[in-house]
Amino acid sequence: MDDFDAEEWAEMQKMYITHTSKELVKIQEDIDNVAMDFLRTFGHNIKGSGGMYGFEEVTSLGTEIEASAKANDRGKIKILLEELSTFLKTKN
């Protein structure tokens, strides 16, 4: 965002990546047992927050995860979470 200087923006993004990565690891560790509603909420949350930190890709993945959770498609969610993991690692 133009309102932040590079240093502030980097601090924000770092905090977000750290926070989201931790959440993601917890989910992936037990992905077969995590409640679908929890996965839907996770997708919904990152859909809303990703763009606030300049990560439109996260918002996009969040939208897909939320939709897949509504469709009860755990297989698709696993793939999307892996994509999210890869994306966050590239930004870390």
Partner 1 sequence: MSDEELRNIIAVDDDFAVRMALDFMFKKWPEYNLILAEDPNDALTKLDEREYMMMFSDINMPVMSGLDLLKIVKEKKPNLPVVMLTSETDIQNSITAFRYGAMDYLLKPPTMATLRGAIDKAVEYREEMDSKQSGAIDMEDFKNMVENFSPEKMGLENSGSKSSEFSKLVNMLQEKLIHPGKIGRIHNLFLLSKSGIVIANLSANNVNQTDVDILGGMFTAVKDFMEDAVSASTTSSLNDIQFGNFHVKFASGAYSELAVVYTGILNQDAEDAIMDTLIAFEFENAKILENWDGDHSMLDSSSKFLEKLFLGIDKEKI
Count the Cβ atoms, other than its own, within 10 Å of residue 37: 10
| Contact residue for partner 1 among 3, 7, 30, 32 (CB under 8 A) | 3
Question: Stretches 10-18, 24-32, 70-78, 80-88: which one binds partner 1 (CB under 8 A)?
Answer: 10-18
How open is the CA angle 8-12-18, to the nearest 5 degrees? 145
| Contact residue for partner 1 among 51, 60, 74, 91 (CB under 8 A) | 51
List, in order, residues 6 or more apart from 35 with CB less than 8 Å away: none
Does position 34 interact with partner 1 (CB under 8 A)? The reply is: no
| Assigned token pair, 48 | 């809303």
* Contacts with partner 1, residue ranges (CB under 8 A): 1, 3-4, 8, 12, 15-16, 19-20, 41, 44-53, 59
